[in-house]
A and B are shown apart, each in its own frame.
Chain A
Amino acid sequence: MAELTGIYTASHTPVMLNFPDRIPSDLRNEIFGAYEAMGRDFESGKPDALVVLSNDHLHNFFLNNFPALCIGVGEQYESPIEHWLKAKRRIFAGDQAFGAYLLQEALQAEFDPSFSMEMVLDHGALTPLELAGLDPDLPIVPILFNCVQPPMPTMRRCYNFGKFLGRAIRNYKGVERVAILATGGISHDIATPRMGMVNRDFDSRLLELMEAGDHDAVIQYATDFVHTAGNGAEEIRMWMAAMGAADGLPFQRTYYRAVNDWYTGIGIGRFEQSAGASAGGRHAG
């Protein structure tokens, strides 16, 4: 039975790597520091594997065949796929057996993900891992949600998939300690007239609702108001899944700032084991 050592949510944007100088150095250092802090917290849980919830930005998938949900079952994953992304090329180790387990369990649970034995990960998965300074050899299972091309799975569907995922991970016997990183969001517009106009109010309300722990209210708010927060905000589907996987653990934001010149509401958070309940948990070992 695997233990979830930590469940994290973090924004991603290629701008962080491609145009870092569009924001003042103090702010940039503060943001990069927040990702590094997440990385330290993540590493303190000593996970053996990482399930990364992200989205493909039309690199592996195109409109000729676009999966709502795709589970990676590769032996390894190259990254990045964007020829224009200013990131060093690397290869993530894949946990193929874990991916295959999650895929088969998902089908048994009446979800119908597609699967991929060869994906090249893009900035969505790469940037937060890179900025958090995570061990590049930590085996990963990428799970990609369609947040980039309507029609897309509903917020509630993503939450319910996350609930399934949390249960399946906890029942897995192949590794002892697993972390989840959900990346994307929060408010941002990609290539629209609103690009660079972050909806700070949406982000702050969403984070408040998540911290209050009323999952139905979060899902309803996300569903009803995501159109005010930009097409990039559709990526909070991964946050919904993380919330489902957390199975009632409280959420806490660890960083938030609306960064218009990076076009994005940069949010980082985690679902935490409560102090006494973490025997053998995040801070143990």
Chain B
Amino acid sequence: MSNWRHMMPTTEAYLLDKVLYELHHKPDDLAAYNQDKTAYLARYKLTPEMAHKIASNDVAALYEAGVNPYLLRAHCIGVRIPEDVSLAALRSLMKEGDDKWLN
């Protein structure tokens, strides 16, 4: 597997990235998000599918959408998705051969 989903981010990835970035850097955003996820996410130009990926903590779908891995990782820690849950979601995407260099 490649280290990256995309060698140039897509616009979808960018828009998701923007939410994950602002959520953890603007002073009041995390509290606003925790209070009302739907209202918070409505501030952004997201499709309902994109908003759902974030609101439902769908770590696997966010990875597949190509969000920046550091933003995804920080988000998982920042909104307290249990470490083993986020790991399992990512590991579920492992395809045959992805670990071939481990042998």
Q: Shortest Cβ distance from B6 into chain A, in angstroms? A: 7
Q: A139 an interface residue at 8 Å Cβ cutoff? A: no
A191 touches B83 (CB 8 A): no
A57 to chain B: closest residue by CB: B70
Which of the listed residues A57, A58, A62 has the most CB atoms from chain B within 10 Å of its own CB? Answer: A58
Q: B53 an interface residue at 8 Å Cβ cutoff? A: no
B99 touches A194 (CB 8 A): yes
Report the bound CA distance from A197 to B6 in whole Å: 21
A82 touches B74 (CB 8 A): yes
Chain B residues in 8 Å Cβ range of A84? 24, 74, 77-78
B83 touches A19 (CB 8 A): yes
A199 touches B101 (CB 8 A): yes
Q: Shortest Cβ distance from A204 into chain B, in angstroms? A: 12
Chain A residues in 8 Å Cβ range of B92? 193
Chain A residues in 8 Å Cβ range of B87? 195-196
Interface size class of A (residues with CB under 8 A): 35 or more
Q: B39 an interface residue at 8 Å Cβ cutoff? A: no
B94 touches A231 (CB 8 A): no
A-B contacts besides A19-B83, A62-B18, A191-B72, 6 pairs, CB < 8 Å: A58-B71, A148-B69, A148-B70, A150-B6, A193-B98, A231-B4
- Cβ 8 A contact of A63, one of B59, B68, B78, B98: B68
A228 touches B74 (CB 8 A): no
21 A-B pairs, CB-CB below 8 angstroms? A57-B70, A58-B70, A63-B68, A82-B74, A84-B78, A148-B70, A150-B4, A150-B8, A189-B69, A191-B72, A191-B86, A193-B1, A193-B90, A193-B94, A194-B1, A195-B90, A195-B91, A199-B102, A227-B1, A231-B3, A231-B4
A263 to chain B: closest residue by CB: B87
The B45-103 residues at the A interface (CB cut-off 8 A) are 59, 63, 68-74, 76-78, 83, 86-87, 90-95, 98-99, 101-102
- Chain B contact residues: over half helix, strand or loop, or mixed? helix
Q: Shortest Cβ distance from B84 into chain A, in angstroms? A: 10
- Chain A contact residues: over half helix, strand or loop, or mixed? loop
B101 touches A63 (CB 8 A): no
B25 touches A191 (CB 8 A): no
B95 to chain A: closest residue by CB: A193
Instruction: Give 4 closest A-B pairs by Cβ, nearest first.
Output: A191-B69, A231-B3, A191-B72, A193-B94
Chain A residues in 8 Å Cβ range of B21? 58, 62
Q: Shortest Cβ distance from B40 into chain A, in angstroms? A: 16
Chain B residues in 8 Å Cβ range of A196? 87, 91
Q: A193-B94, A228-B101 are in contact. Are A57 and B3 (CB under 8 A)?
A: no
Report the bound CA distance from A173 to B93 in whole Å: 54
Q: A230 an interface residue at 8 Å Cβ cutoff? A: yes
Chain B residues in 8 Å Cβ range of A193? 1, 63, 90-95, 98
